[in-house]
Structure 1
Amino acid sequence: MKKIFTVFAFTAFFALNAQETANRFFYELTFKPKKDSAKLDKVMTVLDVVKDRSIYRDYTLLAQDSILKIQVEAMQKAGTFKDISKSVTMPKFSEKVYKFYPGMKVQYSDRVANGFTPMNIGYNEELKFNWKIENQKEKIGAYNAQKATTEYGGRKWTAWFTTDIPLQDGPYKFYGLPGLIVKVNDDGNNYSWELKGNKKVPDFKEATYLETVSPGGDGGKVVEVSRDKFERTFGDFKKDPMATARPYLTSEVMSQKIPGSDLTIGQMVKQQEKMLNDFFNANDNPIEIPAAKAKK
């Protein structure tokens, strides 16, 4: 009976939505980027739900997509290069989490460098949360919600779900409750997501403009690898973001000017390396504790 209800709920929820329309749920993420500091940071994240999957990610670059498109196309038209990084708000997180319906296969992906070409790699996870649903109920924002608890990634989590929205989904990897998760946080308040709103996105395109026009032009296609290989590859990338490009960066190449700019390739590489190192060093408190992941 429960499975029949789940199928019916999903069917009913999407009945009024065309295939190209996404339901976008906005989750404000409050998090502690440094393990040894009480300082908190905030960022808006989104869960985009379409007919056969959901995609969770940082909303920062998505929110600037149309502005970035105008700036890049202006450079292309003028035939000049302009460093737009200073006018762009950089994201706090770079990963994407996919959940494929109806089986809820979870895929975690992130971007690494393959020479000069960005590449998305990801791993699939057979993930079943052992939720304990409790009787406690509260109003979370506009929704009547019920409490549930679980453990995952070395942390204890409390979630609040609402049956007002019949989606067994939520932010990050969380799913599997009889309604959308509207709030979830760990017991140490390292990470806390809360639903702040939702809207329909007509003519939904998963890939951002920058993903579409980036070298390779794959639009965000994910190369699937094992979790162990993902963690080794991404760990190496974090330690040395330019490692795979360095063999091509001869002194002759580094001294060349970028067309339409006063910058040399060497100066641009240095800027990119600093930006990536600053990004990775900004957070040493991951959602999933590495020691806990190693035990899985």
Structure 2
Amino acid sequence: MKKIFFLTTCFAALSFNAQVNRFVYQVTMKSDAENKNDVKTENAYLDISKEKSQFYSENRIKRDSVMQAMFQSGGARNFNREQMEGLRTNIDYSIEKDKSTQKVTYKNRIGRDVYSYEEERPISWKMLSETTKIGDYKVQKAETDFAGRKWTAWFTTDLPYQDGPYKFAGLPGLIVKIEDDKAEYSFDLMRNYKVADFPETNRFGNTMKVKRSDYNKQLEKFRKDPQAFMSAQNTGGGGGIRIGAPSPPMSRGGGNQNSAEMRKRREERMKEEMKRNSNPIELN
């Protein structure tokens, strides 16, 4: 009986340790440079385990799940644009932090492929003595300059995690709130709970491992001429180390719509998307 109790206790402990702590942040963004009155908000998850953490959009993971189901049940013929519009996100990137190596890996889609780079810029914090309370947590103030913005963070040592949303980490506690000095981007902790494991992400297309400088070059090429960039991707252009399977085939149907009209609509959608994201979180 004692042996059974011991094994049961060990199994319960292992199950508990396998759980991932999920912190839900409300992300507020003024991502359109020409219209700062257009304020967007959406939720993002910071999932933390002993080995790593991942930061990504709530809508991103929902959209990936819907797309996976669509392609499994008939491919692009079942594509529901209205449903996908409802899951639109301005946080198309994901960020993983490795606890053992302190490496921060950023992933984002450009055109049809996902580009991945390792962040090489360390975040240097200035600790301040000011404290206050946000929700249930006693928090302390810290400041940093990162990627062209000045940031003010409030962190708590009430939780045993030295982590935070986006690429932010390295404080002696969890970041509860962080905002830039222009109030164009902010991350506010709303709640937390446990989940069984990290979600499976369905990143369609190839993954290109590049340096951050090369990622920025590819992003600039895409912004200048999205159609030419995506045509180059079809012929294997783009540079970097290509990993994984190609993107799922897109429907070539469209009834009476000719290919020129469909291409024009796609270009208009991409231009509108870039306009909505003309004030990025990283300015340099």
TM-score category (smaller protein): 0.7 to 0.9
Which of 153, 157, 166 pairs up with 2:151?
Answer: 157
Corresponding letter in the other structure for 1:59: E
The corresponding residue for 2:189 is: 195
TM value normalised by structure 2: 0.77
For residue 66 of structure 1, report the CA deviation from its aligned partner: 4.5
The corresponding residue for 2:133 is: 139
Q: Quick check: 65-74 or 96-105, which moved more?
A: 65-74
2:261 aligned with 1:262: no
Corresponding letter in the other structure for 2:25: Y
1:106-129 deviations in whole A, cap 9, x for unaligned? Answer: 22221124xxxx322122123322
2:124 aligned with 1:130: yes
The corresponding residue for 1:85 is: 81
For residue 261 of structure 1, report the CA deviation from its aligned partner: 5.9
1:130-172 deviations in whole A, cap 9, x for unaligned? Answer: 2122222222122221111111122211101011111111011
Corresponding letter in the other structure for 1:57: Y
For residue 204 of structure 1, report the CA deviation from its aligned partner: 2.7
CA contact (8 A) 1:52 1:102 kept: yes
Distance 2:95 2:66 in 1: 25
Unaligned runs of 5+ in 2: 1-13, 236-249
Distance 1:276 1:288, change over 3 A: same
Corresponding letter in the other structure for 2:224: K
The corresponding residue for 1:57 is: 56
For residue 236 of structure 1, report the CA deviation from its aligned partner: 1.0
Secondary structure at 1:126's aligned position in 2? coil
Aligned-pair identity (%): 34
Distance 1:170 1:197, change over 3 A: same
Give the count of matched residue pairs: 252
Secondary structure at 1:129's aligned position in 2? coil
Unaligned runs of 5+ in 1: 1-13, 217-221, 250-256
For residue 47 of structure 1, report the CA deviation from its aligned partner: 1.3
Distance 1:141 1:172, change over 3 A: same
Which of 32, 35, 40 pairs up with 1:34?
Answer: 32
Distance 2:230 2:129 in 1: 55
Secondary structure at 2:227's aligned position in 1? coil
The corresponding residue for 2:6 is: none
Distance 1:271 1:153, change over 3 A: same
Distance 2:282 2:25 in 1: 19
Distance 1:245 1:73 in 2: 24
Distance 2:145 2:225 in 1: 33
For residue 57 of structure 1, report the CA deviation from its aligned partner: 1.9
